[in-house]
Amino acid sequence: MRPKIFAHRGASDDFAEQSYESYTGAISQNADGFECDVQLTSDNEIICWHDDDTNRLTDKQWLIAKTPMKQILKLEIKDEGNTGRPITFSELLQISIDSGRDLLVETKHPVPTRGLIEKKVLAELKKRKQDIKKSGININIMSFSYFATRRVALTRKFTPVFLVAQAPLIKYAPAEIYGVHIKLLIKKPELIDILHKREKKIYVWTVNEPEDMEFCARNGVAGIITDNPARAKNVLGYS
C-alpha cells in the first residue's frame, strides 16, 4: 500500500504556512490530505495555528490563548516572501469535506485550557458528522500528549495518532497510529519493525527530502507529512 501524502500546514514550501492559501494550494498539488495544528483563542474558538504566539509569522506579538479569534483573523501571515490569511478549523474542515481530502489535526499542549481543545475539536466533528461521512474522508486527531491521545481514544469516535520524537516513547501504546519524526526513523530504522510487529501504522513528519520520501515508501509507512506535496507525488511516481 502506498503512503498517503499529507500537506504539512498546507503546501508550506510554496505558500505562507498554515494559511488559507497554503491549504487551497495543497489541493492544486494533489495532496491526499492536510495536516494542521489547532489551539483555542481567548474566546475558546479553534484556530489553525502552530506557535503559541503570533511573533514568528506576523507583525504582532500576541499570545493565541489571550487573543480573540476576530483579532487573529485580521492578521496577515508573512512567510519567506509569501503572504496569506489565517484559517479557522471550521473553514479547513469545510475545505477538507468539499475536496475529499483526509485531515490530520494536532492538538497543541501544554495549553492553559488543557483538555478543552480536544473537547472542542470533537464537538465540531460531531456537528459535521453526516457531512464527514458523506465525503468519505478520514480524520485523525494527533498529539505529543499521552493524556490527550487517551482522551481521544476513549471516545471511540476517531483514531488518535501519538506523536513521538524520542525513541523511549515508542514503548507506550496509547494509539493505533504513531507519528514519528523522520530524523528518528533514519537514526533508528528498527523502530519501524517494532511498530509494525505491534500492528501499528506509522505517519512520518516532516519529510521533505527525496531520499527520505523514498525511504518511507520503501519501509511501508502509512503516511508522509511534507511541506511539498507536489515533490512527494513526483518522487514517488504518483499520478
CA angle 168–195–171, rounded 5-degree value? 30
> pLDDT tens-digit profile of 120-160?
999 999 999 999 999 999 999 999 999 999 999 998 888 99
Q: Where are the domains of the chain?
A: 4-235
> pLDDT tens-digit profile of 160-207?
999 998 888 777 666 899 999 999 999 999 999 999 999 999 999 999
Return all residues near 233 (Cβ < 8 A) that are at least 6 apart: 5, 29, 30
Q: What share of the chain has pLDDT > 70, as a percent?
A: 98
pLDDT value of residue 175:
84
Contact 24, 89 (CB under 8 A): no
Q: Residue 98: which pLDDT band, with cuts at 50, 70 and 90? A: very high
pLDDT value of residue 167:
84
- Mean pLDDT (the chain) is 95
Q: What are the CA-CA distances from residue 46 to residues 13, 41, 136, 235 (Å)?
A: 24, 7, 23, 35
Cell triple for residue 89? 478549523
From 3.40.50.261, 3.20.20.190, 3.40.1830.10, 3.40.50.300, which CATH number describes the 4-235 domain?
Answer: 3.20.20.190
Q: From CA 74, how far away is CA 206, in angstroms rounded?
A: 29
- Is the bond into 110 cis (omega within 30 degrees of 0)? yes
Whole-model pTM over 0.85: yes
pLDDT value of residue 173:
63
Return all residues near 192 (Cβ < 8 A) that are at least 6 apart: 185, 202, 219, 220, 221
pLDDT value of residue 171:
75
pLDDT value of residue 221:
98
Contact 92, 23 (CB under 8 A): yes
Strand ranges (E), 16-68: 33-40, 46-48
H-helix or E-strand containing 139? strand 139-143
> pLDDT tens-digit profile of 205-233?
999 999 999 999 999 999 999 999 999 99
